[in-house]
Each structure stands twice: as C-alpha cells, then as structure tokens.
Amino acid sequence: MDRKISEAVASGSCFLGIELGSTRIKAVLTDARLIPVAQGSFTWSDRLEGGIWTYDLDDAMKGVAAAYIDMKKDLKAKCGAVPETLAGVGISAMMHGYIARDKAGKLLVPFRTWRNTITAQAAEELTRLFNFNIPQRWTIAHLYQALLNNEPHLDYLDNVTALEGYVHEMLTGERVLGIDEASGLMPLAPNATPKTAKYDPDMAEKFRKLTAGKGREMDIYKLFPKIVPCGEVAGRLTEKGARLLDPEGDLKPGIPFCPPEGDAGTGMVATASVRPLTGNISAGTSIFSMIVLDKPLSYPYPEIDVVCTPAGKQVAMAHCNTCTSDINAWMGMFKQLLGTFGAEVSGGDLYEKLYKLAMTGDPDCGGTLSYNFFAGEPVMNLEKGCPMVLREPGRELTVANFMRSLLISSVAGLRYGADILDKEGVKVEKLTAHGGLLTTPGVVQKLLAAALKTRIAVLKTAGEGGPWGMAILAGFMGRKDRTKSLEDFVDEAVLATGEAILEDPEDDIVRGIDAYMQTYRACMPAQTAAASVLAK
C-alpha cells in the first residue's frame, strides 16, 4: 500500500477532475502536487434520435457516479483509503451543444450535442450579423435555429447551458461556466481580462433586436450561465450532489468546485498550451487543434473557430466532428473476422499491430482513399457524411495501405485548418497532442507531424488527458500564491510530470501525405454525392 497516497487522501488535499467525453466518462484523482494517483471510467455512447445526435442526461449523471466509484476502487487498491473530502473538484465535458430547460429545470428537448450539423442557416445568419464566425455546434446557433424553426419548446424556455454546466449545477446548485466554454456558447467581449470576462454586449444587443424582430425577444444574459473566472470558487458540493457523485456515501458536502470547462479548455491545460503561440491537438471521437493567438485573425474564416483559453486569451480552433469512429468500426469488423477462425485477439493488440503495420505502407497509401465522416463536417463544408473507401484501379490493395489511409483520413480535416492558419502567418514551434488516437507510439504522431508540417509532442500524461487538465484547474483554484498566473501554474504542473516524446516531420511522409491530400480533395465531390443518398 502507498502510504503517501493514503496520507494525501486522509488529509483531504487531493484534487478531482471529471470529464464527460464522447465515449467515456473519466475521473482522475491527483495528489496535492497534481500528480495523478487514481482514475476510473464509464463507457457510454451517443445515439441518433429523430435526426438528432444526443445523450440521455440521466445516463450522464449515472456515468459520473460510476466513473467516480471506479476511481475509488482503483484508489483503494493502491492505498487502502477512499476520500471523505477533497481540496477541489472540476467538471468538464464535450464542448457546447444545447441543453434547454424550463423554470423548474425540466429538459424541454433532447440534449443536442456538438456532433449535430442542423444549424447551418442560423450559423450563417449570425456570422454575418456579428462579423464573427459562429460554428454550427455553438449554443447560440442552436438557440437561434430553434427560433427559425419556430419550435414550440421556446414558449417555456427559461435557461440554456452546456453539458458540463448541467452536471456542475446538479452537484453544486450553481448555474455557471468557465471562460473557455462560455466562449463557445457565444463570443465574449474583446480584450476582457479573466475578472471582466462576459458575453459580448454588442453582439448580445444585436441578438436581442434580431429575435425581437421575429416576435421572440431573447436576452442572452438571462438565458446563458454566469461566467466565473478561472481560479475562483464556482460552487460547493451540496448534500444532494454528494449523493449523486458518490452513491456509496463516503464523500461529504462542502467541497469547492472550480468553474466547469469544455474539453477544449482542459486539453489546453493538460498539454501546457495556454500561452500565446502554443498549441495542442486533441484526437479522440472528434479531433481538433488549438493555437493560442498573439493577435486577432484578419478575417472570420468559416473553417476556424475563435474561442478562449480558460484565462481569456483568443484561440484559433480547427475542429473536425469525426476522428476515431470509422477506425473503431473497422477494428470491430477485423476482430469479428478473426473470431470466425477461432483467433482471440485483444483490442489493444489489434490496434497496436495494425497501427504499426500502417507505417510500412506506401507513403501515399497506394491509391487507397478513406473518408471517415459519420456526420457533416463544417471545416470541409460537408453538410452530411458517410464513411467511404475509394481505390485507384491498377494499384494493389494491402492491409498496410488500407490502415495507413484510415489513419491519415482521421487527421485530414486538421490539414484544412492548418493551411488557413499558415496563410495567416500563425506559426508555432510545436503542437502537443493527446487522446486515444495517439495510444500507439511512433504512428499517428509521425503522421500528424507530416500532415501539419510541425513538430508534434506527446506527454507521458497523454492518457490522463482532459480530466487531468480539469484537476489542474481545480488545483489552480486552490493555489496558495494568488498572484500566480494560470500560464505559470499550468507550466509548472505539466512539466513536473516529465519530458515529452517529440516527432519532427519526415520528408518522405510529408510528400506522401501531400500527394494523398491532393487526391483526397479532388474526390470530395464523390463523398458529397454518396452522403446525399446514404446519410440519414
């Protein structure tokens, strides 16, 4: 048994980060130094209902509790103790989306997630109105699209929030968000400090007038959650919240919670990418790159989202809705195929061997093209998507080339965004990547470096990812030195965990991906045509 961990648990000096991801809800517990000491998880998935990608919010709360209980089991196995109190907790989740409720807190329509591409008209109109790119997944786009659709639930609408805001409210009773996630509900006021961060008042007034002109005046400041600066206490665990989080009854109420954040913000923190001209990549069910800007972009590009770090600095974000889903589907089929011959292969072994095999394929994938779209992809101006494989006649189909094409397709969307930022002169020395796609060393990291023509770093803590980043934000709330900036605090916390693995672009891989992308772009009309027939 680890005595140091048990002493930290007994003293209540540990921090907890919980993140509701696309396929797993994860809980990571750290010691007072913010070093991870235990973790737990719960598997869940979205579903398509009536053309809407959604999750059941009851499942969300059950999953949070299950992940916490799983973490407790891991902790008890290591040190024989379980927490009664904690120094701080933070809740994170998939960014943005739309959770609409009435005054009594009743959900009015199923939770609409980031994955939906059903708000094109609203996003386009608001982008013109604000002269600021409003992506389809942003909350204000969902809200305005509901008005354009004349949806009856608006008659009862009292408040709107995002998933982590909902969970935070269930545990603390406080309807709040952190700065990064709030910047994805709608744009924030420019040049605001963490202390003065608020929804852009000029845009809020334009929106009020726009909606009033359509017969339903909407006040963003009344509908959207209050913004709480990073480092401040954003609520405390209630009696009810303690029972929800820890049904076994060990955890006591009163624990402070930091402002809840989206997974974009926690990814920035977990990779120490909150300073200007630092950046990170998060690669899981979706994939996105984030680069902290040193100056505003010259133009509101529809392919680039502008959000904020948890401390309020502007970030250029290239977000793609689909990353690992198609790979996982093919891996499931391969495992099923092997099973018909009596071969039992673990999921970990299958991924590792086939990922490594991909690196022996032709640099351009031997004429094999993969399109991994399970939904629309705004960064590529794709309204609908369906997974698709194309092959160049006369070239040999091999497992290595097929796997390589699957992996390159999972990062192809980032290339679109990188090309735009390159024209803007946005340069970074390296991008730090984390997420499930990078589990096998020396594979996707090399492909990312070549695709983005930038050094890619992977930290040893990449497996803890977002929930660990949320625990760091909880630690920042509990910092003793109140003058320390988030940037300095994050650098110290992340660098203390050890050195990163670095990969530089390799010339032959760069040339191969350049050739692949040229054909990939040219064949996009085939994807559009197929999706128009097959996508529901």
Ranges of the chain with pLDDT below 70: 1, 461-464, 498, 536
Q: Contact 362/445 with Cβ under 8 angstroms?
A: no
188 forms beta bridges with 199
Superfamily, domain 271-536: ATPase, nucleotide binding domain (3.30.420.40)
Round to whole Å and give the CA distance between 410 and 286.
Answer: 9
The set of residues, in sequence order, having a beta carbon less than 8 Å from that of 451 and lying 6+ positions away, is 408, 411, 412, 414, 415, 418, 513, 517
Rounded distance between C-alpha atoms, residue 502 and residue 333, angstroms: 33
Closest CA to 390 of 250, 282, 526: 526
448's tokens: 């990312």
**Please, how many CA atoms are within 13 Å of residue 372, restricted to the half-sphere of its CB?**
27
- Predicted pLDDT of residue 259: 98
pLDDT of residue 416: 87
Residue 4: per-residue pLDDT: 86
**Whether 172 contacts 236, CB under 8 Å:** yes
Contacts 24+ apart (CB under 8 A), 101-109: 101/157, 101/158, 101/159, 101/160, 101/161, 102/156, 102/157, 102/158, 103/158, 107/57, 108/153, 108/156, 108/157, 109/146, 109/151, 109/153
Q: What pLDDT is attached to residue 464?
A: 60
Alpha helices in 312-389 (DSSP H): 325-340, 347-358
**Domain extent listing, the chain:** 1-79, 93-239+255-259, 271-536
Range 349-382 burial, b when 16+ CB lie within 10 A, else e: eebeebbebbbebbbbbbbbbbbbbbbbbbbbeb
291: helix, strand or coil: strand
CA distances 320 to 94, 160, 413, 457, Å, are 13, 24, 6, 20
How high is the pLDDT of residue 490? 93
- Which homologous superfamily does the CATH classification assign to the domain defined by 93-239+255-259? ATPase, nucleotide binding domain (3.30.420.40)
- What is the rounded CA–CA span in Å between residue 404 and residue 444? 9
Residues whose CB is less than 8 angstroms from the CB of residue 124 and which lie 6 or more positions away in sequence, other chains included = none
Return phi, psi of residue 409, to 5°: -65, -30
Q: Could you give the CA distance from residue 533 to residue 536 in angstroms, rounded to a whole number? A: 8
Q: Which residues are paired to 382 by β-bridges?
A: 377
Please give the angle made by the CA atoms of 265, 141 and 192, to the nearest 5 degrees.
45
The tokens 């399109």 sit on which residue?
Answer: 371
- Whether 247 and 65 have beta carbons less than 8 Å apart is answered as yes
> Same fold for the domain at 93-239+255-259 and the one at 271-536?
yes
- Which residues are registered as beta bridge partners of 310? none
Task: Tell which residue, 483, 438, 472, 474, has the closest CA to residue 457.
Answer: 438
